Every structure is written in C-alpha cells, then in structure tokens.
Structure 1
Amino acid sequence: MPANKRTYAQFCGIARALDVVGERWTLLIVRDLFLGPRRFKDLMTGLPGITTNLLAKRLKDMAASGLIRRTRLPPPAGSMVYELTPRGAELKDVLMALGRWGWPLMDAPGPEDRTDVGWALVALHRRFTGTVGAWTLEIRAEDSLHQVHAKDGDLTVRSGTYWEPDLVLVGTLPSVAALFHRGVPLERLEAQGLRLEGSPELRAKVFQAFGISEGTGIALEE
C-alpha cells in the first residue's frame, strides 16, 4: 500500500480490501483492464469524467498495491501499457458480485449514460459454465471489436484481435447489447440485421457454455 495513504485502520478483511480498492475509479480501472492491457490514453477515453492527474494517481497507487504493472507491448506496437497482475486479476469475483448486486439498479440508459459493449462482455464471466475444447467468438459492433475466448473452464474477454475467430457476431451496439443484456431472442435480432456467422456445432457450443438455449438471447441475470 502507498505510504501515507489514509486507511480505515480496522483489523478486518473488508476494511483492508477497501483501503486498497475503495477509492473512486479504482474498480472501474480494474474492470477495463480485464479487457486487456491499456495505454494511459485508452484508459482516459474509457473513463469519461476522470482527470489526467487523478488517473495518474490512481494508477500509481494501484501499482504500489500490487494490482497492476506497467509494461511494454512487443513489437511492432511497442507501446507502454498497464495490465493486471495476478493479484489484481483475483478481483474478478469481486467485480462479478458487484455487477450482480447492481443489476436490479439498471433500467434503460439515461441521456448522459455512456454504454460500452466491452462492459457487457466482461459480465459474461458470471454466466460461463465451462466448455469442451476451445473456441473464440468475435463481436463486431459498429467501430468496436472484442473477442470472447473459451477453453475448458477458462473464459477470457479482450478488446481487439488476439485469436483466430471461430464465430463472428456482427451488429450495432444496441442489438448486441439487447442480446447480451436483455435476453432478446436471437431470431428476432437476426431479423433486424444481427448476424452470427459460424458452424452450427460451434454455435450450439457457445450457447451451451453460457447456459442458454439457441432460441433465446443471453440474459445476464436469471
């Protein structure tokens, strides 16, 4: 923990955890880093409302607490990025529990609310039941590209291209969000232009991995 950081000074696991992750923006930075390594400017773009100085302070404190590290991407990118450490990645279950608790608080987005398909995809960790073998679902929503990679009992969600896709889902952000958030039947969305490209066998495997039937959309909460 950073020196001179204010703490609750309570010998309690919850208090100790909040000493590290309880500051505003910290868990949202962790959420975004679950989509892969990020440059400073990428984090700024994905966190509207945070200032440059505050983001720099949060990243410094998170690094000092062992949640993240700064590293350089391999060529040809060569960019300096922030990524989660194994200790930071242990916060996945915390984020999923918070998302589940917050789900009843979500109605339609307000006029000032930002939406992001990546945030919906991170929440798929809550639904994943495991799969046999490995597959990658690529999701193209307007100007964004994400990949959901499953291998046996592990699920990884990334922004950008990391694997050769086995299936491709193409649509607008609202239609993809309707599929993953509101449980709108896939057939209805396909009639509106959403496309899921891939073999019937892999398509069935993807639906099974999230515990749904092919005739329905993916509702993140029961």
Structure 2
Amino acid sequence: MVHARRNYGQYCGLAAALDVIGERWTLLIIRELLLGPRRYSDLIAALPGVGTNLLAERLKFLTAEGVLRKVADDQGKDRGYELTEIGRQLREPVLSLARWGLPFLDAPTPEDVVRPHWGFLAVQAMIDDSRVPDRDEAYEFRVDDVLFHVLVRDGSASAVEGRYPGSPTVTAITDAHTFMEIGSKQLSPFGAVVSGRLTLQGDPEAILRVSALLGLVPEGSPDQARGAASR
C-alpha cells in the first residue's frame, strides 16, 4: 500500500499538480519515461544518486496516481514502467522546464553526469517554433552512441529518434557533455567546431538555419547570423 503523503491543502490546480509530481526525483523519473518504457534497473542506472527504496516508493506512488503503469511484452515479460495518457501530458511542461533551466547550467564539472539520450530531450526543448526554416530539410545529430534528427516539414519542426532515412541536410557529431554545453550556451557551436569537439557536415547556410532554429545564434538578418558563426 502506498502511504498517504503530505499535501499543500490548497484548492488550486498548481498545488494539486505539485502534490503528485513535486517530490524530489519525480520529474527526473518522468524525463526518463518520456523516452519510452524503462525497467527499474534502467531507471537506477539513469538516475545516479537516487536511493533504491526511494525510487521504488516514487514508482509505486506514481502508478497509484495513474501517471505510470507497469507494462509487459506479448510473452508477459516485464518491460518495466511507461507513462499513461495522463503521464504523457507532462511532455510539454517538462520540455518547457528544461528549456527554462538551460540558462542556469554552469560549465559541467567532472562529477556531473550527462547521458547522451538527454540530448534528444534537450533538442526538443531548444526548438524555437518562431524560427522554423521556410524549406523542408532534416538535421541529424549523433551524440555519442545516440542518434536522432530534427525534421522540418511544411513550416513545423519535430525531433525524431533514430537515423534520418534519407540524406540529412546537416549532420552534427559530438559528445553528450559538449551537446549540453552548447544547449546551455556555455559554448557556441562554432567554438565547439574550432576546438574539435563538434563536427558539422553540410551546407553552411543550412548550418546557420538549424543553429537559428535551436536558438544558438542571435535573432536578426542572415548577415548577423553569419557574423555570429564567424566568431
């Protein structure tokens, strides 16, 4: 049985949300499950520092609240936990919080843990819908051993897991630490290229377009963007 928790005792939607997801580690569990079902062992590995009993308690509580559910494959083999429909509604709030939090990141220390799959969520958070290119193209990212791409179609952009099935307009190859440093603007993509930490393949104009889409160059004219690229 899940023990009753303290709550704010306020008749307010925000307070009610925090009663469910406001505990420490809860949103990080949600972050992992936004990428798909995860077993208990996967979550322990992805969340260094969480206690085993604490994780078990959080999973039990979120399952009881209908945010998660246990899942099995066709043979009945345990696949761990996945988000329910209510849980999946947290995607945009979590991405918005991640976008809001990026400027608070300092340069990483040797003790900081970075997972390459976090780059997939980070790029979703970084997409600026007001700066979508006026042409269809695809940008592929290889962050350590994780592949994903941003697909621009009909004036909208979306992040998709896996390799782009055709020829991407731009390919970016880097490691997880560098990707997160770029996302938090601790490091410019062009500085990362010069230092050898990032490889960019593709047309220079397309590289500027994807950089603008991800908020990595100042808003303004192409000439201003080129000026940022040359610094």
- How far apart are 1:12 and its partner, in Å? 1.4
Maintained 8 Å contact 2:143/2:174: yes
The TM-score, its normalising length taken from structure 2, stands at 0.70
| Separation (CA, whole Å) in 2 of partners of 1:150 and 1:64 | 37
Residue 141 of structure 2 corresponds to: 138
Match of 1:210 among 214, 218, 229: 214
Percent identity of paired positions between Structure 1 and Structure 2: 33
Partner AA of 1:54 in structure 2 = L
| Separation (CA, whole Å) in 2 of partners of 1:47 and 1:11 | 32
Deviates more, 1:15-24 or 1:173-182: 173-182
Deviates more, 1:112-121 or 1:8-17: 112-121
Maintained 8 Å contact 2:120/2:159: no
Extract unaligned runs of 5+ from structure 2.
Answer: 218-224
Extract unaligned runs of 5+ from structure 1.
Answer: 218-222
| Separation (CA, whole Å) in 1 of partners of 2:151 and 2:137 | 5
Residue 83 of structure 2 corresponds to: 84
Deviates more, 1:61-70 or 1:127-136: 127-136
Maintained 8 Å contact 2:10/2:16: yes
RMSD in angstroms over aligned alpha carbons?
3.4
Q: Greater RCO between the two (CA within 8 Å, min separation 6)?
A: 1
1:165-200 Cα distance to aligned partner (Å, 9 max, x none): 735322233333333222634333223332123466
- How far apart are 1:128 and its partner, in Å? 1.4
Q: Which structure 2 residues correspond to residues 71-110 of structure 1 after superposition, within 5 A?
A: 71-72=71-72, 80-103=79-102, 105-110=104-109
Aligned pair count? 210
Q: Which structure 2 residues correspond to residues 1-222 of structure 1 after superposition, within 5 A?
A: 4-72=4-72, 80-103=79-102, 105-130=104-129, 131=132, 133=136, 135=138, 137-141=140-144, 144-150=145-151, 152=153, 153=156, 155-156=158-159, 158=161, 161=162, 164=165, 166=168, 167-182=170-185, 184-193=187-196, 194-198=198-202, 203=207, 205-213=209-217, 215=226, 216=228
Deviates more, 1:20-29 or 1:83-92: 83-92
Rg larger in structure:
2
| Separation (CA, whole Å) in 1 of partners of 2:117 and 2:81 | 17
Maintained 8 Å contact 2:70/2:79: yes
The TM-score, its normalising length taken from structure 1, stands at 0.72
Residue 220 of structure 1 corresponds to: none
1:60-103 Cα distance to aligned partner (Å, 9 max, x none): 2212222223334679xx76042223322222343244335544
Runs (4 or more) in structure 1 with deviation over 6 Å come to none
3-state SS in 2 of match to 1:135: strand
Partner AA of 1:179 in structure 2 = I
